[in-house]
Structure 1
Amino acid sequence: MARIAFICPPYAAHVASFRALGEELARRGHEPFFLLNAGATASTGAIPVHHVPRRPGDPPVAEVLHRGERPGGILSTLRIVADSAAMTDQLCAGGVEQLRLLGAEAVIGDQMEPAGYLLARALGLPFCGLACAVPIDEAPGVPLPFLDWPWQPGEEAKLRRTAQIGDLLSAKQGKVIAAWAARFGLPPHRRLQDCLGQVQVAQMIPALDFPRPEPLPFVPVGPLRRPEELEDRPLPFAVPADRPLVFATMGTMLGGDLRVWRSLASACGKAGAALVIAHGGRLTEAQAASLDVHHAAAFLPYRAVMRRAALVITHGGSNTSLDALACGVPLLVRPVGFDQPGNYARIRHHYLGLKLEKLSRPRAIAAQIRRVLGDEGMWARCQAVARALAGSGGTAQAADVVETLL
């Protein structure tokens, strides 16, 4: 049995996937623990959390998370990249001593946090990479994850130029990676893609991804979820018998935007559908009560709601998109940032949903809702992806991969 360190960005969705894997590994007798940035708080259940120390000049993690929830234009992107570089620098600076003190025998690191790979290499520990979001592994015709471009076979020169632009935007993080690789006595490393490791696990599966050459650089296992998240629990509202149920969640990014919810409420009313929303705790009780929806709550059992839904409306986060498709439900997607455009591009590629119309056009959104509800071909494709996800192995398969390293 092994002491296994989890190193990931302190975003709730990433931590949730690691927690599911950690609980499965704990059931098998291993001792997983999180090593996170100073001040990071996370819902990790019984899995212990340890932190590296904060240094003078390090940005407070709360401010980093706040900025990360509001991706926008180029300046916002550069700020988020700078924050990510600072978080990586902090983990590398304090991680070696902490991992030694904690007796780490292996490291599982998020693809988006290169510190996990660098620390594992520095200490000579087995390493497994985990792609909670759209995998950043490069492949012919596959655009960068933060782009909503289609699969582009034969456009390698264009994609290389785009990747070079991406490297320029992430130059600050590249400098941190290069500096710590040199300090740890490793060969030159300059990019996130240099820190993926030989063994990787991904929530993305081929039935949802763009085409990639075999063998895949990662083991596709589908959603990493805790058993209780998959249970068919009672709902805190009655499912209408006379109208299709539409479930909408925008994560923490847009959960407090009343304009979003009012537009969707109007559209669902025009489409004859019942709207249920999960706002992530971003609305007050008075604000939630002011919405003309079937039910509004901060949080809901996603899978249980989605099993009864005819449509899911989302920002396109990886976890929400995977959960909806695991239930065979099509999507309307309003991507904002990070890998959400990449998720939407794959949903469009496989014809599993549509891009949400502008919020200022609730009648057009209503037309989209009616179109999706009546599209038998789209429904059949979503059901096929659900079957593929059900057979992908999930958390147990991911734990099997980790155990091959030990």
Structure 2
Amino acid sequence: MTHFAFLTPPYAGHLNPMLALARTLVDRGHSATFVAQADVGAKVARPGIGFVPVGARTHPPGRLARMTARLGGTTGLFGIGGVIRDMAETTDMLCQEVPGALDAIHAGAVVADQTEPAGGLVARHAGLPLVSVANALLIDREPAVPPAFVGWSYDDSPWGLRRNLGGHRVADWMMRPLQEVVGRRARGWGLRGIETMEDCLSPTLEISQCVAGFDFPRRSPPAALRLCGPLRLPEARVWQGTAGRPNVFCSLGTLQGARRPVFEAVARACERLGLPLTIAHGGRLDAAAAAALPGTPRVESFVPQRALLRTVSAVVTHGGLNTVLDALAAGVPLVIVPLAFEQGAIAARIERCGAGVVVPLRRLTAVSLAAALSAVLERPNYRARAEALRDEIAQAGGVERAADLVERATRPRRSGG
């Protein structure tokens, strides 16, 4: 049996899929330990799953709250510089401290989020098998696929290829603080050819939560890439919707849940249409703000999301990948209001695959949202596309297939005798 060390960004959208994979591996007799700053300990506390805190000097308790606040306040490209500096400092700290932690727990393999390059660096330095997991959109570049931080449509024309190349150059410029850490650490460990985040990916196994029908077409996907669909554990909880009318669910994820104006627009739109609405704000609205929302929405900090999605007819969301994939896994069409990061790119994919409607933040009003909701509820093509993706996700294998692949990729090779 193998002891897997997990390295991932310290946010719920990355931690939760990794926890599902870790739990599945532990249930098969393996060991799993998350290695991260101390604040992450409470977030990954699960029976049978270990945690090793690192970064006491540079990432003491309380720093994650500041990082999360910066992340949650980002809109578009505004404020992204501070987020990238946080990423660079965390990667540098992990490269400094994780090798000792791997020795201490006798790790036999590393499972790393694609967006945490320390995983690939440390695994190569330690000579350990590496598995990369794309809990967000794939960072593997292709000429026809736009950068993940823009909401550009897919365009493989010569003009589109030139546009994407320019976008990737801008991305490289923005990511310089992180790339400098990657290059410096790689050179210090004698790891040749490692200069970028993409260079840190596993050559053996890359697992993605996406499925082909959702993502943009890829002409030359990495040989190591496997599309497994959402990494989720079985959920036994139930949710009782409101009978008699199509129900709507609104979530802005765990980082953007303080965006009261967005919730107000959604609530007014549902009030105009007479639709029952449930809002989940991730604990980021106070009771007074929640009570002041228009109409009579049911407002909760957290909900059993997948159980709730089985009872609704439409989802309004910022376009976080996990909420989008959960909605598609339930066959529910979406209205997406992208706010930051890769949400515009996810919205572009939903628009292209036909499973929803995009409402840009600059055009967000109760009227525009009501029109978008009416479209996805009344035009059968949106639900048909969502249901087709539901079937594709069901066939992708999910966390059990991902665990099978991890076991095969990290199984010790026997030398010939």
Q: Give TM-score scaled by structure 1 length.
A: 0.94
- Which residue of the partner structure matches residue 85 of structure 2? 82
Picking from 220, 227, 252, the partner of 1:220 is 227
Post-superposition CA distance 1:348-378 (Å, at most 9, x none): 1111111126575212211221111011111
Q: Deviations over 1:371-399 (max 9, x none)?
A: 11011111111100000000100000110
Task: Read off the aligned partner of 1:234 and give its amino acid letter.
Answer: V
Superposed CA deviations along residues 135-163 of structure 1, whole A, max 9, x for unmatched, are 11112310111111011213323322221
**Which residue matches 2:163?**
158
Q: Which residue of 2 aligns with 1:208?
A: 214
Kept after mapping to 2: 8 A contact 1:10/1:41: no
Shift of 1:73: 5.3
Aligned to 1:104: 107
Counterpart for residue 395 of structure 1: 399
Whole-angstrom distance in 2 between the partners of 1:75 and 1:259: 18
Q: Work out the number of aligned pairs and report it.
A: 401
CA RMSD of aligned residues (A): 1.8
Cα distance change of structure 1 residues 150 and 395 upon mapping to structure 2, 3 Å threshold = same
1:288 counterpart letter in structure 2? A
Q: Residue in 2 aligned with 1:193?
A: 198
Within 1, Cα distance between the matches of 2:360 and 2:119?
A: 39
Comparing 134-143 with 69-78, which one deviates more in the overlay?
69-78
Where in structure 2 are the equivalents of 1:103-252 lying within 5 Å? 103-154=106-157, 155-198=160-203, 199-213=205-219, 216-217=222-223, 218-228=225-235, 231=236, 233-235=237-239, 238-252=240-254
Query: Match for 2:249: what amino acid?
Result: F
Of the candidates 308, 311, 318, which is equivalent to residue 308 of structure 1? 311
Cα distance between partner residues in 2 of 1:42 and 1:351 = 39
Find the counterpart in structure 2 of residue 273 from structure 1: 275
173-182 or 268-277, which moves further after superposition?
268-277
Which residue of structure 1 aligns with residue 5 of structure 2?
5
Deviation at residue 295 of structure 1 after TM alignment: 1.3
- Say if 1:73 and 1:219 are closer, same or farther in 2 by CA, change over 3 A: closer
SS at match of 2:255: helix
Indicate conservation of the 8 Å contact 1:182/1:188, yes or no: no
Distance 2:136 2:305 in 1: 18
SS in 2 for 1:201: strand
Match of 2:23 in 1: 23
What's the offset of the Cα at 1:258?
2.5
In structure 1, runs of 5+ residues without a counterpart are: none
Q: CA deviation at 1:214?
A: 5.1
Query: Bigger shift: 308-317 or 331-340?
Result: 331-340
Name the aligned partner's letter for residue 17 of structure 1: P
Alignment of 1:317 onto 2:324: no
Distance change in 2, residues 1:394/1:134 (3 Å): same
Unaligned runs of 5+ in 2: 412-417
- TM-score with structure 2 length normalisation? 0.92
C-alpha spacing 1:165/1:276, structure 2 compared with 1 (3 Å): same
Instruction: Describe the SS at the equivalent of 1:391.
Output: helix
Cα distance change, pair 73–352 in 1 and its aligned pair in 2 (3 A): closer
8 Å CA contact 1:4, 1:106 repeated in 2: yes
Matches within 5 A, 1:39-50: 39-44=39-44, 45-46=46-47, 47-50=49-52
Shift of 1:74: 4.3
Report the 3-state secondary structure (helix = DSSP H, G, I; strand = E; otherwise coil) of the residue aligned with 1:252.
Answer: coil
**Deviates most, 73-82 or 96-105:** 73-82
Provide closer, same or farther for how the CA distance between residues 123 and 260 of structure 1 changes in structure 2, counting only shifts above 3 A.
same
My pick for the range that moved more, 207-216 or 112-121, is: 207-216
